[in-house]
Amino acid sequence: MKNGKVGFGLVGTGMAGLIHARELPHVPDARLVAVCSRRKDKVQAFAEEFGAERWYTDYHDLIADKEVDVVNVLLPTGEHRDVTVEAARAGKHVLVEKPLDINLERADEMIRVCREHGSKLGVVFQMRFGSVAARLKAAVASGALGRVFLADAVDKSSRTPAYYKSGPWRGTRALEGGGCLMTQSIHIVDLLQHIMGPVKSIFGKVGTKIHDIEVEDTATALISFQNGAMGVIESTSSIKPALKSRIELHGERGTVIANAQYDQILFWKVDGTDEPVKVEKNISLGDIDDPWAYPQTRHRYQLQDMIDAIRENRDPVLTGEDARVSLAINMAIYESSRTGREVDFTRPPYTRPGMRIP
């Protein structure tokens, strides 16, 4: 740290890089030290626009920068591991955009190396930091809904062919690792398991129905939780028009439906309780199909949390181990789709012995 401020270095200047660069000025005691992109003209202009003190075209040089305390890994998913591992070995802390990487083996290496070197590893799942996520989690944990027996996550988005052509990594197995489940719906997959607790088993089916890509654009899964509840995951990037994603919780005492992207309670009818917030009226199910237009300000909470974690010498609120769970759920859906069999989520590699469940 310099002058009491934590120095951040952004590796990647695409969509995620832009979001982090825009949100850092809103975080007290954060300092944008450096940015990195392979294209000199692009990274130089990016650095000038956002006030970065230095720019690099090689991430090794950014990691070697002595004033960078936190390396923000904002590259295509399949490039997360290499940058994270090198940064940890260099004594840097790491904040990675979701998902951790394209498979559990690579994710586990990231977690292990960061732990071995005392590097704090945080992963961005900004939906967890909204009011809806907190209220749904509390409603289940407190028993306000009674026994929850059915819990669904629905994410029906729309992406154009131009979206998949906007970067050579999009829609590829090597660099995206998956399609709608990995890039769009992993947010509500993460939220569903965060609210409902450990998963027992998964039966899934994925397919490529509309887009000319290597990975899925449509997926469904039946999920059983260790607390006895059942659920459904629906994911697609192919419908027209896009619909708002939602979490639906059905308990003995009533039902709650909410959208965590916009922090909206869509329906709340629970015996013996009042509505905790104003239920949105005249709701339109339609959503935007422009990923740039979604709310982005919650990133600043995780940026601030990384600073606080460093100062307090604690883990980030959302660790690599936490982020591993949603990745493991997606991997189990893929395995089930390949084999046509239900996957036991309580066995390795999905749940590791001694692994902390968020």
pLDDT tens-digit map of 216-256: 999 999 999 999 999 999 999 999 999 999 999 999 999 99
Q: Which amino acid is at 330?
A: N
Mode of pairing for the β-strands spanning 93-97 and 121-124: parallel
**How much is the pLDDT for 292?**
57
d(CA 101, CA 233): 21
Burial of 30 (0-12, 13-18, 19+ CB in 10 A): buried
d(CA 165, CA 283): 33
Dihedral pair phi/psi, residue 23, rounded to 5°: -90, -25
Mean pLDDT of 56-71: 98
Check whether 18 has a pLDDT greater than 50. yes
- 219, β-bridge pairs: 206, 235
Query: Which CATH code fits 128-288+325-344?
Result: 3.30.360.10
Mean pLDDT of 61-72: 98
Residue from 55, 103, 341 nearest 222 by CA:
341
**How much is the pLDDT for 274?**
63
Averaged pLDDT of the chain: 93
d(CA 249, CA 14): 35
Asked if 215 and 256 touch (Cβ cutoff 8 Å), the reply is: no
Check whether 65 has a pLDDT greater than 60. yes
The reply to whether 128-288+325-344 shares the fold of 6-127+297-318 is: no
Top-tier CATH class for 6-127+297-318: alpha beta
Alpha helices in 254-298 (DSSP H): none
Check whether 273 has a pLDDT greater than 80. no
**Which region holds residue 313: left if phi is over 0, alpha if psi is between -120 and 50, else beta?**
left
Locate 240 and state its tokens: 């027209």
Beta carbons within 8 Å of 126's beta carbon, 6+ residues apart: 187, 296, 298, 299, 301, 302
Dihedral pair phi/psi, residue 333, rounded to 5°: -60, -45
**How much is the pLDDT for 172?**
96
Parse the chain into domains and list their residue ranges. Answer: 6-127+297-318, 128-288+325-344
Q: Model confidence over 106-162: pLDDT tens digits?
A: 999 999 999 999 999 999 999 999 999 999 999 999 999 999 999 999 999 999 999
How sure is the predictor about 177, in pLDDT bands with cuts at 50, 70 and 90? very high
Check whether 354 has a pLDDT greater than 90. no
